[in-house]
Structure formats: C-alpha cells, structure tokens
Structure 1
C-alpha cells in the first residue's frame, strides 16, 4: 500500500509533508483531500482550450482517487484479510483485543513511565473484568510509536479490536482519552474520556475497563466481587514512586531491579498500606533467584515478607499470589502449596493462559501443558519469552523437533538473545547433539554481557560430555574463581564434576546447592540427568528432601 501511495503522490506532484491531494492519517490510513467537481460538461457552447485542460485535470484527479480505492480493495482481497474481516463482522462481537501503548500528550518525555504504566494497568484491568482474551503488554508494547495502520496491527496480533488513546498529566491531574476500534473494519466501537486526580487514577482505570467490557459484550461491566471496593485512593507521591519502580524494574537488569526496589520502598514509606507496592517489591526481589549475584538465602526471606504483607493488606492481588507460589516452589520446594497459589493467581487475574503449567508437567499431563503454552503464545504472539516457554513444554514432552523449530523462530527476530541460544543448546543435549549444543552455548556465553555462570556451567558440562575435559576444567576454574567474589550456584559445579566422572566433588557440590536452596532444583527439566552420582545415597537423600522422586524432573 505504501508503494502505491508513493506512486500516486508522484503522479499528482504531491508530498506527505505538505499534502494537497492525499493526506496520511496516523494508524488510520489515507484520505483524499483535493477538491473535486463534476467532469461532465454543461450544455453550453464549446469550451475554450483552458477549460478543456481543467476538465482533463479534474478527470485525472478522479481517476487517481479511483485508483487509490482499487489499490486498497486489491490489498484487502489479495492478502487474505477479507475472509477474516467478513467473518468477524458477521460474528457481531469482539472475542479478543489489544491495548496499544497510550500516547503521551504531556509534552514531557520524562512522563513516558507514567503513560506506559497507565497502558499496563488498563491491560490488567481489562483481563480481570473481560470474558475475552487480552493480548499481553509484551507484544502490544512493541507497537509504541509504530506507524502501522490499525488493520495491519490487528492482523499481526490476530485480534478483533484495538484500544488506543492518550494521556495528559498536569501535576496531580490526569486525563485519559481512549477509543476502541474494530481492527479489521476500522470502525469505532466506543470512545470516552476520563479525568481526575492522581490519587483516584486507579479507580479511573477500573471504571474505564468496565465501560469497555460493557461496550464489547453489552454487559453492565460490574467489577469482579473479589476486587470490588478494594482500590482505595493512593498518595500521589507514593503512586508516582511505585510507577517509577515498575518502569526501571521492567528493564530486567540487576541494576534495574535494585533501583526499582528503592522506589518501592519509598512508596510504602509514604503510604504504609500500599498493597500493590509491597507486591511489586516482593516480585522484584524474587527475580534475584534467576538474575544473581545474590544468593537465594539473602533475598528470598525479605521477598517473602513483602509478598505476604501485600496479601495481608489485599488478598486479591494476583501478582502477590503468583510470587508466593514461585517462592514456595523455588525456595522451599513446597510443590502442592505453590500450585495452590498459582491457581489462585489465575482465578484473580482472569488470564486464561495462566494455568499451573509446572503442575501439569510434573504430573505428566503433557497435552494439557502444550495446549496451555500454545494459548499463552496466542495471547503474547510477539513475546520472545512466550516462544521459549512453549519450546520448554515441547521439550519436556519429548517433542524435540517442535521445540527446536519454536526456538529458531524466536531467534529470527532476536538473533543475539542469549537465552534463546541457551534453550536451543539444552534441547540439543537432550537430543544427543552435543557438538551442536556446544556451538549454541558458546554463542550464549559470548552474547551475555558480564557473563552468565549458568550458561558457563552448562558449557562446561557439554565440554565434559563431548570428551573435552581440558575445556571443561577451564570453565570449572573460572566458575570457582567467580564464586569467591559473589554467589554462584553450586548446582552447575556439581553438573560439571558429574560429567567428568568425579563422584566426591559432585556430591559435595550438590549438597552445597541444597544448603543454598539453589533455584535449579525447581528447574531440573532444564538439565540432563546426573549419571555418576545418580545412584549414590547422598544424592538420593537430596532429592528426597526437596520432594523429587528418583528420575523425576520438574520445570
């Protein structure tokens, strides 16, 4: 379409910057703005040459307009969109939507964190009150400042509707304007503006979500009983600190996590009953289970305390139940108790994709786990993590070919993403393709800024499994050297020693990992089974203590 428009503008001597005939409407498309008159001559004496020239020009403009219409129609039919458009229009209702990044109209880029937080909150609230699928923020946020047309975005996300809007903030006063668009037909379904003080912005978000739900399904849009009346006004300064914490924590870096925790602490200091801030702080602290360089024993007790404080203040916070479930399983190895928290989080969030996948895998219910992971990807189609999650389920179910294909598809968009190469290497190890795994692990280690002890440990294991003990010991020496400076999980050390056939060092390392509450015990399906120490009583005792029967792997 863009190419066709350029050709039309060239033919009409027009430009996008100063249009005289074809105007670009952001995210909407194009419209013809030139004046048009009838090209049928009146019954008058023959026109002079100048008049004939004008008539030809007018006919040229009309032909250009018709060409534009024909071009658009050809694109709609030729790309296969028309069956989707006609089917959805005939359905008469909206089954899925995406909240596009709201536009910051404050005139201050420093307020982007606030506007993005409004987008996230609206996405969450819509998922809770809906009865329809809501695309994850991870995929929707990729369209921030995108110039694509709404029908194109709807096609790429495979949704029936798109919500777009603007946010204006002046001091503690906020105005949010939003409109719901039927994606395929570009038809307005609903539009409304809401404004109020920052202390009431949470209530405004919920009110908007309920109105949208009512417009979509003709329902009254009442809040869920669990959340009704539980969103009190917040201290503006506390809420601002909370939003800043969400913004920097979303960078998924160690420094970002630390800065975010500081903001959350400021938020609860200003408002001690701010449940959402306690929940966000606990969730962020729990990230150090995976990000390092702090040991689980250093961070999890405080993460648990903040999470339980959040639930004490408001036991309907899905995020807090989700974090508690993660802590119970990854730190305490309380599998059933963790499953209950994950199920409660799903009930509260309204997210049909948030099924207890680890529980399904642990119980061998692979078909259900695969269906859930595929549905999760449908709700987050552009998410790298959702692709890796589906691949992990395929791998756990023994469907290695589909796991490899899914990871490679994700790497097409982010070829330098180290987690993708790591997960591909894990799959290759399970397939017995050790040399291929080594190549992927070397790429993962090289791509990891500042190094990643987990990737390095797995590379050391792969070297040992491939009969390269010198390279394996080189990795082992580097890991042990780093461990003298900061926390490094002993689980990876045990894995290398086991592959090298070194029984006593492997047993000593696995026992240290147990004492440290290493997170890898909750992710044992990521690792090949131990061989050298598999039948040793000390190893079996560790598995018994964490509730893992012999030969069973957990996600």
Structure 2
C-alpha cells in the first residue's frame, strides 16, 4: 500500500495526471475536427480508425514524457530525480508508466472499436438480410438563396424526391408532414432520426444566384452521422423545373444503389413541360397543404392556372380535386354538391390522363364516399390506388376513413396505424386514430391519441371537440362542460352543451341549447339536422331522433356518413329502424 501511495505522490509531483488530462482534451478535439474533414474529402471510414489508434498509442508516450520532462518558464527541462517509488527503476518503471497510459486510453478505445463496432454491423445486417426494411426521412432542403421567393423551389425538390422514394419497393419513407415538421428547427440529426424511427436522413440545400443554381444533397447514417452519399449539382436556370425533376431522379437512383442493391426503381417523376405550369402547381400544392379556407381558395386559383397552361399535367388535376373537395367540406349547404362535382370532375381528368396514377383514384374514392355516399365505387377506387402504390400515405389514409364509415373499425384502426408508421408526426393521422378508437369504445387509448396530436401541435383546436366528447362518453358531464369552452364551432358547442346539461339533470338548460341548435337548421350551415338528431338519440327520444335523421338525409348532411359508428347514436342501435 505504501508503494502505491508513494507512486501516486511522485506522479503528481511530475505532473503526469495533468499531462494525461490535457492530452485527453486535445485528442477529443482532434476527433471533432477530423470527422468533418474526412467526410468533406470523402475519405474512407478506416481513416478515423487509424486516427483513433494513433491517439490511443499517444497516451503511454505522454505518460513517459511527463515523467521524464517538465516545463518551467517556457522551457522543457528534465525533471529532477527523486527516490524511486517503491524501488521501481529501469524496465519495471517503464512497464508501470506504459501500463498507466494504456489504462487511460482503454475506455475510449474499447468504446470505438468494440461498443460502437458492435452496433454498426447490426444495422447493416438488418438491411441486407431483410429483417428490417431500410428507412429514410427526406428533410426539407434549405433555401440558401438571397431571394426568399425561391422557398417553393427548395420545398418542391424535397417533395419530388420524397414522392419518388415512396414508390421504391422495400424502402420505408417518412411522410411529408413529419419530414416538414422539422423545417426551420435547429434540432440534432440523431434526435430527428429517433423521433421519426429511421436509419438514414436525406438533407440538402439550394442556392440560386443569377441564372445559376447550386444544389447539394447528402444521405446520412443516423447511427453515427456518417455521409453514405453526397453530391453537388451546379446547373443553369434555363429550365429550373426540368433541373428539379432531373435531380429527383438522380437522387432516387443513388439511394436505390446505396440502400437497396439490386432493387427495381418503380417510381415515375412527372415533370411539367412548361416551367410556368410547374410554378403554379408548386404554389397551389403548398397552399392546399396549409389547410385553411383562404389557402384552399388561393390553391384552386393557382392550380386552375396550371391546368389551363398544361391540360395534360396530371398532378395538378389531382391537387385541384383535393383543394376543391376541401372547399366543398366547409361550403354553405346549398353549394356543397355543385362544388363537390367540380372536385369529382378534376379527379376524373387525372385518371383519364393517366390510368396508372394512384393519386387520381385515391382522390376520386375520397370524393365519392365523402360527398356522394357511393360506397362501392369509392372502395373500388381506393383499392385500385393501393394496388398501384401500396405505401402511398394519402391512399392509406383515405382507405381507413372509408372502411371506418362502413363500420369496419378494426380494419380502419389497422390501416391508420400503418399511416402513423409512415408519418408519425402528422396531427391529422393521430386525430383520425383517436376518432376510430373512440368509435370503437377504446376511450382511454383515444384520449392518448388526441393528446399526442396536441403534443405535436399545441395550437390544435380540432382535438377539443373529441376530448369533450370522450368526457361525455365516460360520464364526466361537468368536466365536459369545461372542455366544451374550447370547442371552436358554435353548432358543435350547442350540441355538446345540450347533452352535458341533460346528463347533469339541468332540463331547462339542455332544452335551451337544443332549441338554439335547431333554430340554425334553415341557415346556410350544413349538418345541423344531424346534430339535433344526436341530442335526441342521447336523451333516449327515439322518435324525434329518427325524424331529425330523416331531415338530415333529405338535406344531404355530410355528417350522416357517421351513422354506423357514431357513439352518440348508441341508444338507437337496438331499434329496428336503425339499420
């Protein structure tokens, strides 16, 4: 014990521990510098292993030099000799010093060559053996141009690549909503990959200067931050949109080789022939994705310009159908059907122009079920869309909503969970899952799903109505009244208030809310008759409930499509009139 103490004292006197700490910090700094240099120069991964090995060898050298020499007033001097600790001299002392250096280097060396080395082959093996499908998230390309109006170009590149990748067999591609969730956020790539459950990330940038554009793309391994592939394009802007389609195809080809050797590339990039067409299309699509009434109206204007310039451009017809359909959902009652027919016409044009385009069938199936209750043909359309592209998020989402309306809730839940696998940060995906769970009687799980949607978007007011409904279904009328205050629509609030007051035994207050709701039937807003029917059904007033359901059918209230699965109609299900 005395020998060990005297050795430690002598190591301190000769400042060996201080030298080890300083060298460890310097070695860490070298690793931080060498990695980006290595990736930038496209050196092989083995270079980093050589650097780590060299730094590890340096630890025993530093210990030995610190024992022999000292730095005083800027000069290196030999350390004055002292009594050898524990009689250690010559070869025995040298072995002890080397052992101390090896001990200091061991943790970092073991981590790099063993712990980290074990993790890496696992990923590679899973990809090559097929046990786990390769996965990628396409992060929004950063617009580095001084002209911020080029934002639509960088977003367009991202979406073209994402849509092309989504068609590659054997590759899991995160949906647009989740990928764009991180736009403008300074978040660590490893954290993004963990949240999206992917093994690789594709990121890039766009810089436009005069009539030239520079686009850089990198494919990154999420496990260690290494670049699997990268490329820089410098092109003229004689046709900016052809360049974009070319880049999307080139990146998809490169990813196919890197991630799935030998896989067939089944995707088709559909560039517009007219650059102005494509500009209007990108603008219209981005506005439609905003999801507001004003955004949809502006989207229709832009997309109608696109199809006027190039009537054969199929994606513009698809998105025109979507934007028109979204407008019809919120239109005054008298305008719903005419606007829905305009949406259907656009979807029909997309299919006529390209019978192999999944998006056209998916949107037509949605319109047929949502507005015209043409369930059989809607199912045919959506099944055709999935046959053409089995992992298209839009088709999966719309198929789930269809089978939900048909009362096949278990199938809807299974399909919706596939949507969430593709797009885990989509507010609407979690909202739909919550709705299906609530209609299936899984109220705790439904509450969790709606809560997840609010975690993703704290400003999400759409969840308020569903959370208030869950309180009522769980028998918490007083809590429901508090939750109803956050419900945005007056018609929804009146319906829920009437039911909550009834549950609390407040007959007069319940009647007042119901009368106020029924008074809106002749107004421009749709779905009033259906909501009045819900109140009567909840209160056990069956004859009145069926009378109002008949009125809802005569007025073509769109929410009548919930008839088979609406939990507020549960008191009618034993009645023979309910079929």
TM-score range, shorter chain: 0.7 to 0.9
Residue 51 of structure 1: which of 56, 75, 87 is its match? 75
Query: Hey, what's the Cα distance between the residues in 1 that align with 2:389 and 2:211?
Result: 28
Query: Is the radius of gyration larger for structure 1 or structure 2?
Result: 2
Structure 2 residue ranges without an equivalent (≥5): 1-20, 23-28, 40-47, 80-100
Q: Are 2:216 and 1:177 aligned?
A: yes
- The answer to whether the 8 Å contact 2:190/2:222 transfers is yes
Equivalent residue for 1:87? 122
Q: Are 2:477 and 1:426 aligned?
A: no
| Structure 1 segment 249-328 matched on structure 2, within 5 A | 249-293=288-332, 295-328=335-368
Superposition deviation, residue 318 in structure 1? 2.5
Cα 1:144/1:359, change in 2 over 3 Å: closer
Superposition deviation, residue 456 in structure 1? 4.2
Moved more, 396-405 or 93-102: 396-405
- The answer to whether the 8 Å contact 2:351/2:360 transfers is yes
- The answer to whether the 8 Å contact 1:479/1:488 transfers is no
TM-score (norm 1): 0.76
- The answer to whether the 8 Å contact 2:495/2:535 transfers is yes
- The answer to whether the 8 Å contact 1:421/1:440 transfers is yes
Equivalent residue for 2:276? 237
- The answer to whether the 8 Å contact 1:429/1:528 transfers is no
Superposition deviation, residue 185 in structure 1? 1.9
Cα 1:532/1:157, change in 2 over 3 Å: closer
Query: Hey, what's the Cα distance between the residues in 1 that align with 2:297 and 2:392?
Result: 31
Cα 1:153/1:347, change in 2 over 3 Å: same
RMSD of equivalent CA atoms: 4.2
Cα 1:292/1:171, change in 2 over 3 Å: farther
Equivalent residue for 1:59? none
| Structure 1 segment 403-552 matched on structure 2, within 5 A | 403-443=446-486, 445=487, 448=488, 451=489, 453-476=491-514, 478-479=516-517, 486-490=524-528, 491-499=530-538, 506-507=545-546, 509-524=548-563, 525-529=565-569, 531=571, 535=575, 540=577, 550-551=578-579
Query: Hey, what's the Cα distance between the residues in 1 that align with 2:109 and 2:514?
Result: 63
Query: Hey, what's the Cα distance between the residues in 2 that align with 1:250 and 1:511?
Result: 35
Q: SS of 1:145's equivalent?
A: coil
- The answer to whether the 8 Å contact 2:272/2:278 transfers is no
| Structure 1 segment 71-150 matched on structure 2, within 5 A | 87-93=122-128, 95-150=134-189
Moved more, 507-516 or 113-122: 507-516
Q: SS of 1:287's equivalent?
A: helix
Higher relative contact order (CA 8 A, sep 6+): 1
Equivalent residue for 1:198? 240
For residues 320-356 of structure 1, the C-alpha deviation after alignment (integer angstroms, 9 at most, x for no partner) is 2222111111222121211121122223334166543
TM-score (norm 2): 0.73
- The answer to whether the 8 Å contact 1:127/1:350 transfers is no
Q: Are 2:419 and 1:384 aligned?
A: no
Structure 1 residue ranges without an equivalent (≥5): 1-10, 13-18, 56-62, 541-549
